[in-house]
């Protein structure tokens, strides 16, 4: 039974998240249904990360087991045919070892959060980023973000329903990129770590937005982190600006 790695992109607005659910559309369920069109099911696929409702991906990685020896390109083409019209696409496909695992073999996950500062509502990019209508101080946000990088107890920035065994994680990067637009400014938050707590990235960005708006000082982020108290966190930002951008493995399964 060969195993295949899938590089997956999706727009999360139509889904209740990655994980299969009985009563709501999910990315996992959509891909498994497409696999069932190719080979009789049931199929169960595993992913590098379980994204929440409304969250997108440009670099999600999953794996599946099939009975037939598929050419990887043919498999990706067949899946994309059966995935239509859902906003899900298989960007690449590769044969991997029978014990390779999309989640457990991952060394690092990279997330991107897009935040737009402008007065006018979003139109063509609606649902793809979070809009605020006030000016933000990027240097202040980066100063606040710098307090979060490293090995910490992130209880403050962890959802109350998080199922992780420990709130202690290592955050390798939290970088604020400024992209001037013709009207407004886009801020991109690049976040990198081996693993994340539930709502951790959205808690970071929501807190840092308060710093950029001047409601918090950069050092307030350090105090919130040290409090180890969810009540000390800033507001959790909406999901539509969040993307699972990439997953790194000891050997890239998609390298040619």
Tell me the pLDDT tens digit for each residue of 13-39.
999 999 998 889 999 999 999 999 999
CA distance 187 to 54: 19
Residue 84: the pLDDT is 96
Domain ranges of the chain: 3-105, 108-245
CA distance 221 to 146: 9
Tokens of 73: 């390109």
Cβ atoms < 10 Å from Cβ of 109: 23
Identify the residue whose tokens are 């637009």.
Answer: 181
Pairing of strands 150-153, 130-132: unpaired
Which ranges in the chain belong to alpha helices (H)? 27-38, 72-83, 138-146, 200-213, 218-227
Q: Would 3-105 and 108-245 be classified into the same CATH topology? A: yes
Measured in whole angstroms, how far is the alpha carbon of residue 197 from the centre of its chain? Answer: 12
Tokens of 32: 């498994």
Separation of first and last alpha carbons in the chain: 22
Identify the residue whose tokens are 């886009």.
Answer: 186
For 3-105, CATH number? 3.30.70.580
Residue 1: the pLDDT is 86
Q: Which positions of the chain have pLDDT values less than 50?
A: none
11 DSSP 8-state letter: -
Residue 32: the pLDDT is 97
For 108-245, CATH number? 3.30.70.660
Tell me the pLDDT tens digit for each residue of 139-179.
999 999 999 999 999 999 999 888 889 999 999 999 999 99
Q: Residues with catalytic annotation?
A: 52
Tokens of 186: 């886009």
- In order, the DSSP letters of 93-162 are EEEE-TT--TTTT--EEEEEEEEEE-SSPPSTTTTTSEEESS---HHHHHHHHHTT-EEEE-GGGS-TT-
């Amino acid at each position: 039974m060969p195993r295949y790695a899938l590089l997956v992109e999706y727009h999360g607005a139509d889904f209740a998240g990655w994980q299969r659910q009985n009563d709501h559309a999910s990315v996992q369920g959509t891909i498994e249904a497409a696999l069932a069109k190719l080979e009789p099911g049931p199929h169960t696929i595993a992913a590098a990360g379980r994204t929440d409702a409304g969250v997108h991906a440009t670099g999600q990685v999953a794996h599946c087991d099939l009975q037939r020896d598929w050419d990887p390109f043919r498999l990706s083409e067949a899946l994309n045919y059966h995935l239509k019209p859902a906003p899900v696409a298989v960007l690449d496909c590769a044969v991997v070892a029978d014990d390779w695992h999309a989640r457990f073999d991952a060394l690092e996950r990279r997330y991107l959060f897009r935040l737009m500062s402008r007065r006018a509502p979003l139109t063509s990019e609606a649902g793809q980023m979070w809009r605020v209508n006030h000016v933000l101080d990027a240097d202040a946000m980066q100063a606040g973000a710098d307090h979060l990088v490293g090995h910490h107890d992130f209880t403050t920035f962890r959802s109350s329903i998080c199922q992780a065994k420990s709130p202690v994680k290592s955050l390798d990067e939290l970088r604020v990129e400024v992209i001037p637009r013709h009207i407004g400014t886009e801020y991109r938050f690049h976040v990198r770590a081996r693993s994340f707590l539930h709502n951790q990235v959205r808690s970071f960005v929501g807190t840092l937005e308060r710093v950029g708006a001047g409601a918090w000082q950069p050092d307030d982020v350090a105090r919130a982190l040290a409090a180890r108290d969810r009540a000390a966190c800033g507001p959790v930002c909406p999901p539509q600006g969040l993307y699972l951008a990439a997953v790194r493995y000891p050997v890239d399964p998609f390298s040619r």
